[in-house]
Amino acid sequence: MTIAAPADDWGRAVRRALVVCACACVAAPTATAQRDSTALLDRAARRYGAMRTLRATFEQTLTNPGTSGTRTAKGELFQRGAWQFALRYSDPAGDAIVSDDSTLWVYLPSTMPGQVLKLPRAAGAGFDFLSHLLSAPRAHYTVHAAAGAPVPGHETAAFDLVPKEANAPFTRARVWIGRADTLLWQVETVEVGGMVRRVRFIDIRPGAALPRTQLRFSIPPGTRVIDQAALLGGRAGPPRP
């Protein structure tokens, strides 16, 4: 039986990921599997690097290892280029994480009603997993082929990525790449505090037209803006190329 995590686990997980941005074991792969991982990740990185836009629906599961509780969410991802993205949730309805040209907005009325966090854009690395994991992945991560159940409906290969940089927003990640289409169909990250985030994409549309309103955040009337730039010392690390 699944034990539901406390409602504010979602909010705490988001805040923990932002703070981390600011400041599973598998057998050794064979040489063939390692070459497969290198080739497939290179192809996926090239494909995402060439994409101007992307739109995808997703399901997300947060697991708290301390309580063994889980919390699920659903929504849609809108992405333009490397650092402009929006996670718009349909469940919990109204939650949104939006990175525009210069600012990351975190609006979670389901757990933090009446307020929105305003942060430097680079603080969103923990949520912008497409750019963070697929921008020169072998330069930023130690990569190993991994065993893992395939993503339903897709023939995928799984790979473990361990950050080479100490200030990464997670301690390790596992990605599932489609063998035929080189799309990222599932990602699982482990945050420094132990929270496990798994995102499975249901539908991916590379090159899709994006409504301009989806990549802009409009502050709802009566919402308090909490500018956390001072808390982060005015910096959250330079954007990754």
Domains and CATH numbers, the chain: 3-23+27-227 (2.50.20.10)
- Whether the predicted pLDDT of 222 surpasses 90: yes
Return phi, psi of residue 239, to 5°: -60, 140
- Whether the predicted pLDDT of 11 surpasses 70: no
The model's pLDDT over 54-89, given as tens digits with 9 standing for 90+, comes to 999 999 999 998 888 899 999 999 999 877 999 999
Is pTM beyond 0.75 here? yes
Mean pLDDT of 139-168: 91
What was the pLDDT predicted at 23? 44
